[in-house]
Chains A and B, each alone.
Chain A
């Protein structure tokens, strides 16, 4: 297979970027998208040119490192599966057989003011880390290991929390949102801990602080387009955003100062 790539090239955070055209030839249909880029990069290196920088790590769809906007879709266009569902996947789990031979592909980084470009297709997602530091944790005592199932968790809560915990923090929701809003990410993180009994002591401060940090980072507001839900490789539901909206409202009735001191335990 062969493809014409239009790639965002930007040599550094403050450099001006532009779309540059490359030809990818001799592509095996069973190559992953990133393997195709590896091949293109080898040719660039052989020609003495700067290879295209992109993020990746596990290459099996679980770490959340990769992320390229391909033809306007974060992680790449998605197929309708045999069962009628739209496939959910990361860039590293996208295969060249999903495209048509000779297709033009436009490769861009996640575009958001809160995710500044470091180089080419690599963006700085530390805004997500700062949101997590603001409240995406629980406090736990150290010491002897507690009994496995000492705390009862209803199955429905457990499953809902696990659905939220699927979030790998890749940032596709921000990239997909017309407002570059981080609501789906923050909602997933707020809910995943907030639904479980272990997350209750810090529940009010968690949602308030994480939302506060989200705003500080300069993400947009939510207009309920649901582009995030459609782009999420882990199929995080909009219902977690509704849940966060409820939780934030409820948190305003709580005494945030005392819950934030952590206790003397």
Chain B
């Protein structure tokens, strides 16, 4: 062969290649988001030795098993509290939470808002396929009205969460939404999140052709990507109250929130220093419980 053999797919060094091929369906968008993630890691020059990735349960939850990082596939909905403990115990770690909409916003919804309120220094990537996929296409708190799911066979009628609005209200310092069509913008958003201290939330609208699109007669993954291309509108700084999703309507994408406020550990330190003065002993950076 030729010189090309020496080059590799830029995502490859971030993957547990011994676990490839992955389980995701043809046309599923989750793998695409991982490409953007890899590009963001390259661009941000994040030290991979001190980067940990935490997932919950679901199709996106499997990301943890495919990335060559310290990676934790936790319980359903609890990626954020696990990540919180990891970050608290070793503040030097850069901690990414990579999970799905059902995992983060339904069963894990309470943790999501509280971690944002506390401003824990976590980068949360929420792959939103608008449905529970791993379990077979049930309604999620993100499923848009009138969509058909296996548990709403006559159409959903529950109002859906507008996640950027929720996270904005809860206090996240960085909130953006892109789709899997916006691979470069997504990579940039992830890089921006890495540069920020505090709770960042990136929603990625992603196709689940197998369960969501097919049941709603929206075609395959490619049709969905074309829909994202046609119907997305970039509105940086859009009021998050106005970015809710509908079944077939416009998808407002962009960076909605980018603000600074002290993160949990800075606030904790400041409070202790103020109240305890010299009696405060900061947790040793590499506290060793080993022999």
A, B assembled together: no
- Chain A residues within CB distance 8 Å of chain B: none
